[in-house]
Structure 1
């Protein structure tokens, strides 16, 4: 049997088709060019219909194999949301996880919208979370008049594929909206109402591993799952015992647990099919290294007109960083919180220990990479010994690791664990395909699907 996985990322969208025998048959990707311009410096939105069009283009590019696909899984960027009407059409942009309206100050000195919502409801939530965005829109009259439901972009693509007029949401995405009760696997409707929001706009939460519907040609479509969970499924050899370290635009440390856990400083995210992920999610990651790359390019432009290829400058940065590590960093340290943190959005990065021997481009590149790893390790160290001792290996995913041998070296040194790179280059899309095999009953459960589809 063949299964398709669709991953709707912030910057790219991809489809993987894989077989139940462990063969990856097709991989196609396209840039996500759906970003919308805005005069609001804090607004980050995308056009849902453009995303749907890209998905259609990718399906057409997969046409030689698409007819044989039995089921479809969907992975999507977490936290972001859009509004749909009673006919199932989008009536707003997709407000992405990077949207900053939740960090704007409210009137009367009560803090930001995210902070005030948290105090009001007792739930921790950050800017970019779907219900934080909706809270701002509700208070400022920006909810479309014909909006009937909120949903993720993954839920919306599932509706497009199946022809459904209302969304169904997997717990893994529902928890990323905020105001979610993990123990009940449901939104806290009382908290939503207390904040003055209409709870009837929340989509129903499916049981873990639910089905959103079927395509006109009979393909089962699993409810969309969060890209963090999908990447974990696609990258690790088995659910228990492996830590996933993902570095893309941001970064994440994830460990699976069968039982519900509450650990200060870590998020507890529902996992498809049961269980939970304990997640530490810094905002720094690939975009912190990209910030340094932009600085180097600006310096080069300031002193000459030579064009610099993006891939080439990253290769040079990596080479210089590796040489700097061999020479020694001295006391040089970078705090890479250039974009703040989830708990302190106004936080800033910092540098210390700069001297004449390490005031070089290579040392700065190495220090930024080390800073990204240091922030991730801070979350690793929050795991209690009983959980950390059960971790016997680490999987690395995301282009920030896959394309950077220096990052791989730093992670191996800091984690003191064997680190293997996920074989599937589109981990989230592959994970969505594996999830589809389990959710539709083609495999007994997720572990069985992972064992079967990763043996090739």
Structure 2
């Protein structure tokens, strides 16, 4: 435990502070949860829509206002001013992969470019290669002089010249996969096209920025769970790959400072409450859902869909990402770009039909629409209807951003709202089950609990049923509705030194309260 963490823990214990607060910055919602460390009871919760979206100049841009997000989080804490004197620490969970730029005083000078931003898949344009040599000139043989790798670098430059998109070129130059939406791909596009603000001193995630606004910190401090989601991150050393960045011409001075491997405090609020460095929402949701780190396989369906399993040591698995976990462990993760967003797309299709047939705009509420869709899907399953086979890649995949959705096996009996809705949910379940099939056999053998989280599973019994059929096990739902905020609170308690590690924190705070069936 660091000296700062030790001091924070002693101060909290001496003052009898029993609460920790978790803040979650989601793509579509913002949440605050106050949790009692003596049992894990969530004593207060605030959930509000994330209304920070900004219209982009191009259809592939996905932007949000980082100050509007931070202001809303500060307003939530202000509503709990009576609770703050008894609060030992604050944790932050945030949507991953996206970036924003801050100036030397720590204020945002750009929008948040979210994980859904697709500019990295744009075709290369003339005149966009001015930084391609990584800071080095070339001689008459094409070898980089003063660059970062001699003939090997020149070979990469030559190969990059044949790339069709910004992503392909960055991956060729660095030798590392950098999926669409990852922050350093977005940064690479912006710096090559004049989009980086002149006042920018550092790039960071929205979680880092929230911590800066809460503490008055002037430079970002990024946890490895967030840093890895930016791209060009060396998992073994838990640090940015400076050589790869240099090969692409990315200035390492723009990268944020990394927090320590066991977590760190970003600072304190004006009231003196320690604030932990923000962690990724995937890792926070795992902490806020599972009863114990080991042996819990998590399926989370929100805006996207993810499978996650904790591993104490790094392990490679085809088709899965290895992500840093707070405290030094790892998370094997399979992430879909669809999930709840795919179901929402089908809902918008049905809504447009209903409104066009006489209901008028806004005539069908979201609750009514989703209740009907869930009922249709269950009806199709109960009746044993033959379902169309749906590949729900409406938004591409991590491995292939240009992949398109497909519907096959559609006949007259299946061309109904019931069968189509159930078929799409079956496609989402198939994606998650395919991720599970990629887990190493020794890890699958150690799974004792199959845990479900996110409103996409919580509110949709048809999706749960389809997924249970595919994995051959019941799915237990957590009683904590806002899993990422709860997990951020658990993380804060560990970072502040209230608990020695996450297993102790989960034991003392009750872990997840699991149940089979609906939680409404």
Normalising by structure 2, report the TM-score: 0.86
Q: Does 1:219 align with 2:283?
A: no
Aligned-residue CA RMSD (Å): 1.2
Q: Does 1:32 align with 2:85?
A: no
1:390 maps to which residue?
A: 446
1:207 maps to which residue?
A: 260
1:454 maps to which residue?
A: 510
1:316 maps to which residue?
A: 372
Indicate conservation of the 8 Å contact 1:236/1:244, yes or no.
yes
- Aligned counterparts of 1:413 and 1:423: Cα–Cα separation in 2: 23
Q: 276, 287, 295: which one pairs with 2:330?
A: 276
Indicate conservation of the 8 Å contact 2:74/2:214, yes or no.
no
- Aligned counterparts of 2:116 and 2:437: Cα–Cα separation in 1: 26
Q: 280, 283, 286: which one pairs with 1:229?
A: 283
2:394 maps to which residue?
A: 338
Q: Summarize the alignment of residues 188-207 of structure 1 with structure 2, pairs less than 5 Å apart.
A: 188-207=241-260
- Aligned counterparts of 2:258 and 2:241: Cα–Cα separation in 1: 12
**Number of residue pairs aligned between Structure 1 and Structure 2:** 456
Q: Does 1:165 align with 2:215?
A: no
Indicate conservation of the 8 Å contact 1:120/1:194, yes or no.
yes
Q: 186, 194, 212: which one pairs with 1:133?
A: 186
2:117 maps to which residue?
A: 99
1:370 maps to which residue?
A: 426
Q: Does 1:23 align with 2:41?
A: yes
Structure 2 portions without partners, runs of 5+: 1-17, 126-160, 514-520
Indicate conservation of the 8 Å contact 1:250/1:284, yes or no.
yes
- Aligned counterparts of 1:67 and 1:44: Cα–Cα separation in 2: 38
CA shift, 1:67, in A, is 2.5
2:27 maps to which residue?
A: 10
Other structure's SS at 1:165 match: coil
Q: Does 1:301 align with 2:358?
A: no
CA-to-partner distance for each residue in 1:366-391, whole Å, 9 max, x for gaps? 00111001011111111121111111
CA shift, 1:331, in A, is 5.4
Q: Does 1:443 align with 2:499?
A: yes
CA shift, 1:83, in A, is 0.5
Indicate conservation of the 8 Å contact 1:331/1:352, yes or no.
no
1:183 maps to which residue?
A: 236
Indicate conservation of the 8 Å contact 2:452/2:477, yes or no.
yes
- Aligned counterparts of 1:439 and 1:415: Cα–Cα separation in 2: 35
- Aligned counterparts of 1:331 and 1:211: Cα–Cα separation in 2: 51
Indicate conservation of the 8 Å contact 1:4/1:18, yes or no.
yes
Other structure's SS at 2:257 match: coil
CA-to-partner distance for each residue in 1:386-419, whole Å, 9 max, x for gaps? 1111112111111101111111212222222231
CA shift, 1:109, in A, is 5.0
Normalising by structure 1, report the TM-score: 0.98
Indicate conservation of the 8 Å contact 2:52/2:66, yes or no.
yes
Q: Does 1:286 align with 2:340?
A: yes
CA shift, 1:328, in A, is 2.0
Indicate conservation of the 8 Å contact 1:3/1:20, yes or no.
yes
- Aligned counterparts of 1:261 and 1:339: Cα–Cα separation in 2: 28
- Aligned counterparts of 1:38 and 1:331: Cα–Cα separation in 2: 38
Structure 1 portions without partners, runs of 5+: none
2:80 maps to which residue?
A: 62
